[in-house]
Chain A
Amino acid sequence: MNNVYFWEGNVACAEGALIAGCKFFAGYPITPQSEILDRLAFRMPEVGGIFLQMEDELAAINSVIGASWAGAKAMTATSGPGFSLMQEGIGYAIMTETPCVIVNVQRAGPSTGQATRCAQGDFMQARWGRHGDQMLIVLAPNSPQEMFDLTIDAFNLAEEYRTPVILLSDEFIAHMQERVEVPSKVNLISRRKLKDISEAPFGGSLIPPIASLGDDFNILVTGSTHDEYGYRKTADPIVHDRLVRRLMNKILLNADKIKRVEMQNLDNADIGIVSYGGTSRSVYEASDLANEKGIIIGHVRLKTLWPPPEKEIKALAERVKVIIVPEMSLGQLSLEVERIVEGKAEVILLSKIGGLPITPHEILSKIFEVLR
């Protein structure tokens, strides 16, 4: 039987991590993610796991990397400025193919900005925040239930694809309290382990098997360009090209399997909307209100932000003349939607910053303005 709780998003995320088998959490206090940290400080020792409050976000992400290489499922959580500080570590995790989960509860920036207010300004940073060519997976929940479900998904994807996975939440969802159903049985994936010393832990297949530090395979882990056995080969153009392309491809070639997307009313839509996270909750209500006026909104709601569900967004563009992209930023998701639809539909940005969510009526007004 499933258990039902009344949880806020951050608590649901922490509990999801425990269900996913997370045994190591390191973090640093920052609003609006602190409840994840607080909850796990209390809960992690109960399951025999490790909770550490580190000296800064650099220590948090790097100790997560160490813990993951030592064999534990590991996670950190942060917000805005802390996410910026973690970027170098995330780049290292990409290069070394370290399974781990990074939760970023978005808040209003730039800089300290509005520390306690909601925003969606980290959409591009989540994808492009590191130097160098790289790719990872970014998921976006839109309810406490999804803070729970997608945290488990994030761990499964991290383990399956040997990559850092970012759970890109926002203050709106993180502090929202709703019913959360905890299933009695959850499907969990664990990393494919190296069986024999002759297997290559950094190549040979798209997603190579991993050996943990302490497993006595004499494994060499490095963030420098390395061959399939981990030896530094920084001056070899072929080794670098092969490694970086494989790291990109293991995500991009599996984009369809990684994709999580929700689609509503595509077939008879009068107008399209692409949204994610907290903003999508206002789209739901705007959709109901529009329905009462006889307008049907075709809605593509992204749960996987990166790699983006291109086919679904293209399908929407085939059916409508205009796609509205509401977001709590001055235009980031809208740029990606524009790129994907290749002019097949007009993309109109509805942005709002200042720390307050976009309301259903604001979306509705935009629809009326466009359709007039």
Chain B
Amino acid sequence: MILKHFARKYLREEVLPSTFCPGCGLGIIINCFLKAVEELGYSNLNDFIFCSGIGCTAWIPSPHFKADSIHTLHGRAVAVAFGVKMVRPEHHVVVFGGDGDIAGIGIGHLIHAAKRNLEIVVIMANNFTYAMTGGQLSPTTPFESLTLTSPYGNIEKPLDVVKVIDAAGASFAARWTTYHIIPLIRTIKTAIKKNGFSFIEVVSQCPTIYGRRAGFKSAYDMLKYFKEHSVPIEKAKNMSDEELKDKFVVGIFVDREKLGFTSLYKQVINKARVKL
């Protein structure tokens, strides 16, 4: 008997092998997401609708997932997801996007969806660069980093997107790296079950575009770097900014119980109908 990889039942096998580069972190994210789905007891993806924008990460659901998915304009996946979730509140609506798509061109929609506490899950793969266009500066590119559009070194400090989500008042926000497979699976399960806006940043290696210019020899080197430079949030609380300069603070940053937007909107409909 030939045993199939657990994830195959959720994937469109006709599009495999994936078009992602060898060593890309997005495969790990696909695995972790589908493992979380399986552990939650879903035998298929019928209860999910996926939205994505433009960029490598946007290709995670479209076309890989055997599910309903909408591959939208650059930066607009969260706005499209808003429309989808309001009409189909019974479905889990999940957005996949990269740092450019979600935190660059699309950050306005992200902040407002977080502020409204819309019950969707946004998974942002942070590879520090616009990979699909060849490797330009992104909102999360580290300080002094070399990219195609920062050839003299990046003079901007990277944006801490998890902090932005926290300030906007969302229910849930977390950060892991592609090294942290087990906690990432656990966190995705929590996010899917959460009745509010859930944001997960996954620091993810791009050995082909970003890693090469940053001096990493392989995807493995990048994963090892993630492991050695990650600090749990509890420990980071007692560390100085100088000590945290080149570190990834990982863990659950926000976990609040509060009503989500679709629940609140149901109250609006009830008020309008009582009046009639």
Chain A residues packing against B (C-beta within 8 Å)? 23-24, 26, 42, 45-46, 48, 50, 52, 54-56, 58-59, 62-72, 74, 88-89, 92, 213-224, 230-232
A233 to chain B, nearest CB (A): 11
Decide: B108 and A55 in contact? CB cutoff 8 A. Answer: yes
Chain B residues packing against A (C-beta within 8 Å)? 12, 15, 46, 49, 51, 62-63, 66-73, 75-76, 79-88, 91, 108-109, 112, 265, 268-269, 271-273, 275-276
A217 to chain B, nearest CB (A): 7
What would 9 more interface pairs be, CB under 8 Å, given A71-B87, A219-B68? A45-B269, A59-B79, A62-B79, A66-B79, A70-B83, A218-B12, A221-B69, A224-B71, A231-B15
A-B contact pairs, 17 of them (CB 8 A): A45-B272, A50-B87, A52-B86, A54-B82, A59-B79, A59-B82, A59-B109, A62-B83, A63-B83, A65-B80, A92-B73, A213-B68, A216-B46, A218-B12, A220-B62, A231-B63, A232-B63
Residues of chain B within 8 A (CB-CB) of A218 are 12, 66-68
Decide: A92 and B112 in contact? CB cutoff 8 A. Answer: no
Residues of chain B within 8 A (CB-CB) of A42 are 272
Contact A92 B49, CB 8 Å, known A45-B268, A63-B80: no
Residues of chain A within 8 A (CB-CB) of B62 are 220, 222, 232
- Kindly state the separation between the CA atoms of A74 and B62 in the bound complex, as whole angstroms: 24
Decide: A54 and B68 in contact? CB cutoff 8 A. Answer: no
- Kindly state the separation between the CA atoms of A46 and B275 in the bound complex, as whole angstroms: 9
A248 to chain B, nearest CB (A): 21
Query: Which of B88, B265, B275 has the most chain A CB within a 10 Å cutoff?
Result: B88
- B82 touches which one: A48, A52, A71, A223 (CB < 8 A)? A52
- A64 touches which one: B66, B73, B83, B272 (CB < 8 A)? B83
Residues of chain A within 8 A (CB-CB) of B272 are 42, 45-46
Decide: A88 and B73 in contact? CB cutoff 8 A. Answer: yes
A55 to chain B, nearest CB (A): 4
- B83 touches which one: A45, A65, A215 (CB < 8 A)? A65
Contact A24 B86, CB 8 Å, known A48-B269, A58-B79, A231-B63: yes
Contact A50 B86, CB 8 Å, known A59-B112, A220-B62: yes
Residues of chain B within 8 A (CB-CB) of A232 are 62-63, 71
- Kindly state the separation between the CA atoms of A49 and B198 in the bound complex, as whole angstroms: 25
Residues of chain A within 8 A (CB-CB) of B46 are 216
- In the complex formed, the residue of A with least CB distance to B12 is A218
A10 to chain B, nearest CB (A): 20
Residues of chain B within 8 A (CB-CB) of A70 are 49, 83-84, 86-88
- B72 touches which one: A24, A62, A68, A215 (CB < 8 A)? A62
Decide: A214 and B49 in contact? CB cutoff 8 A. Answer: yes
9 smallest CB-CB distances across A and B, nearest first, come from: A66-B83, A45-B272, A70-B87, A67-B83, A63-B83, A62-B79, A66-B80, A222-B71, A66-B84
Contact A220 B63, CB 8 Å, known A62-B73, A213-B84, A215-B68: yes
Decide: B83 and A24 in contact? CB cutoff 8 A. Answer: yes
- B87 touches which one: A24, A54, A92, A223 (CB < 8 A)? A24
Residues of chain A within 8 A (CB-CB) of B80 are 62-63, 65-66, 69
Residues of chain B within 8 A (CB-CB) of A213 are 49, 68-70, 84, 88, 91
Contact A220 B87, CB 8 Å, known A62-B80, A89-B76: no
- Kindly state the separation between the CA atoms of A105 and B20 in the bound complex, as whole angstroms: 45
Contact A50 B265, CB 8 Å, known A55-B112, A59-B109, A70-B83: yes
A15 to chain B, nearest CB (A): 16
Contact A67 B84, CB 8 Å, known A214-B68, A231-B63: yes
